[in-house]
Amino acid sequence: MPPFCGLLPVRDEADTRMLRSIQCHIDDFYSSAFKRDCEGNVGYRGGSPRKQECELLARLVLQLKPETSLDWGLGDAAVCMVIALAKRELGISKRHISLDPLQHSISKDVGLIQLQQMGLLEDVDFREDRSEEFLVQAMRSNRAFDFIFVDGDHSFGGKVIDAHLAERALKPGGVIAFHDALFESTAAAISLLIRDHRYHLLDLRFEPIWQVALRCARHAPRLGIRYAYKIVPRLGISIAALRKPSGG
């Protein structure tokens, strides 16, 4: 896979067509933050990544072209939707795997309903597994992934364990992305991969320099000077993406 440096440029008509197709679905998804659940109730579901983050994720997946992909924390399915749509546009037949043990009990199937409405259920292998259980089983069966998107548990323990296990389940040269990279728990996980496993942070920034500078200054007291001025400037709003060394 080629290195990722900033936003994917629109290189030709094929790129334009794929992005336009995905953008239509993103626009439709974000036309309302109110979603219907399996009990027929309509409620506010505003916990998704921002619309701009989903647009960025679409460009990233289109460039990486991952044959095997995984995310957890299905929620209302915004991330899963984008990854599945990008893989469909790329003609990749292997289904995207999405985990969420709370999809039925807490989310009341909102994410699955969204996928069904978009005609994406056949493109997604949904499982109610916890991330740590799935990743341990994947390692036991020598299963590895080209792209992993981490959301879900935001506790310190949960996030660091997710990062540790995902690191072992990611193929050499593969990419792992984190949502909420401005959370202290996520910052700890990202720092772990860079410090202990020599992961390379990809540059996803697209905002004006002044806006990035303000964000760095605002988060430095909480996240530390090094993280604020080394990591935060390369985030795509709150998404971080890191590449695993090709040597393993």
Contact 130, 156 (CB under 8 A): no
Could you give the angle at the alpha carbon of 102 between the alpha carbons of 66 and 104, nearest 5°?
Answer: 105
Query: What is the CATH classification number for the domain harbouring 142?
Result: 3.40.50.150
Closest alpha carbon to 164 in 196, 140, 187, 201: 196
Which residue type, as a one-letter code, is found at position 112?
L
Q: With respect to residue 2, please indicate whether it lies within any of the assigned structural domains.
A: no
Q: With respect to residue 5, please indicate whether it lies within any of the assigned structural domains.
A: no
Segments forming the whole domain that contains residue 56: 13-243
Residue 118's contacts (CB-CB under 8 Å, 6 or more residues apart) are 25, 29, 81, 85
User: In total, how many domains does the chain have?
Assistant: 1
Q: With respect to residue 6, please indicate whether it lies within any of the assigned structural domains.
A: no
pTM: 0.94
Q: With respect to residue 39, please indicate whether it lies within any of the assigned structural domains.
A: yes
Distance CA 164, CA 202 (A): 19
Q: What integer pLDDT is reported at residue 83 of this predicted model? A: 98
Q: With respect to residue 119, please indicate whether it lies within any of the assigned structural domains.
A: yes
List the chain residues with pLDDT less than 70: 1-12, 47, 248
Residue 94's contacts (CB-CB under 8 Å, 6 or more residues apart) are 67, 68, 69, 87
Q: What integer pLDDT is reported at residue 232 of this predicted model? A: 97
Q: With respect to residue 131, please indicate whether it lies within any of the assigned structural domains.
A: yes
Q: With respect to residue 145, please indicate whether it lies within any of the assigned structural domains.
A: yes
Q: What integer pLDDT is reported at residue 8 of this predicted model? A: 53
Q: Tens of pLDDT along 15-68?
A: 889 999 999 999 999 999 999 999 999 998 876 799 999 999 999 999 999 999
Q: What integer pLDDT is reported at residue 10 of this predicted model? A: 57
Q: With respect to residue 8, please indicate whether it lies within any of the assigned structural domains.
A: no
